Amino acid sequence: GAGGGEAGACRPPVRQDPDSGPDYEALPAGATVTTHMVAGAVAGILEHCVMYPIDCVKTRMQSLQPDPAARYRNVLEALWRIIRTEGLWRPMRGLNVTATGAGPAHALYFACYEKLKKTLSDVIHPGGNSHIANGAAGCVATLLHDAAMNPAEVVKQRMQMYNSPYHRVTDCVRAVWQNEGAGAFYRSYTTQLTMNVPFQAIHFMTYEFLQEHFNPQRRYNPSSHVLSGACAGAVAAAATTPLDVCKTLLNTQESLALNSHITGHITGMASAFRTVYQVGGVTAYFRGVQARVIYQIPSTAIAWSVYEFFKYLITKRQEEWRAGK
């Protein structure tokens, strides 16, 4: 869920060239915390809504022992079959809980990221841009984002599973709460963080590397930002797929996988890793990798372009309003 958020979190400095148009970083000079939160919430909701059907397919494809009716060759075939056999709106089930979680989660994420990035940069590299500050700010922001998003993820993934008994979000929440306790909503929180911190690092390094090639002058160049962001998102997504598979198992507590090897709930990262290996061997760690990469590429691009656009728009309006007073 956090994908787009994490993905773009670390951005390189953008040097201004007199002929290169507006400065990407400097456009919203007076952006407030509220601006970051609103722009972040809009970006998060849009990114999750647009990419939701692919996310549904990814959850299904990560299933360790899928029902024969839910074994898919690729993303498009999966989407087509889900719609044909389970109805047009089936890939969208659980979207409402995701949108509800994504708003506050991304609002917190972006506001915390921007604030910390600035505070830490001023300490580490006054007047400049510090990669360490960006990375650290992104990691702390991830803690907040995932804390807000995790319960929504659990409910969403259970509703996405094949033959899910839940038709309404409230049914799923009630069942999880009664049968597994409140802790179930945070069972995959540590896994989520274990995944997002390396995701952050890989994305950042890849992005920097690609910017050096595509945009050596580091001018504001939307196409290069989108291209680098998308490629970096794809690399980070592929590399962290094994952790994502474990997260899906912890969230869904897939009954077939549980019945075949283990009694009781799978609780920690280590036991999730063991179960995945026991059930499917090494290849099981890369279940759904294609769906994950296909999901991450546009979601990274959507989240950052929407975020920057709204941040610019809101700030511009505020400045015009101040000027007109």
Question: According to the model, what pLDDT value does residue 25 have?
Answer: 45
Listed as ranges, residues in the chain with pLDDT below 70 are 1-30, 128-130, 200-201, 204-205, 208, 217-221, 255-263, 308
* Rounded CA Rg of the chain: 20
Angle at the Cα of 253 (from 252 to 258), degrees rounded to 5? 145
Structural contact between residues 81 and 42, judged by C-beta atoms closer than 8 angstroms: no
Whether this model's pTM surpasses 0.85: no
> 196: closest CA among 272, 274, 135?
135
Q: For residues 288 and 294, what is the distance between their CA atoms, to the nearest angstrom?
A: 10
- SS3 state of residue 263: coil
Question: According to the model, what pLDDT value does residue 4 have?
Answer: 44
Question: According to the model, what pLDDT value does residue 28 have?
Answer: 43
Question: According to the model, what pLDDT value does residue 228 have?
Answer: 79
> Within 13 Å of residue 139, how many CA atoms lie on the same side as its CB?
13
Question: According to the model, what pLDDT value does residue 197 have?
Answer: 77
Domains defined for the chain, CATH in brackets: 32-64+72-180 (1.50.40.10), 199-298 (no CATH)
Q: For residues 31 and 132, what is the distance between their CA atoms, to the nearest angstrom?
A: 22
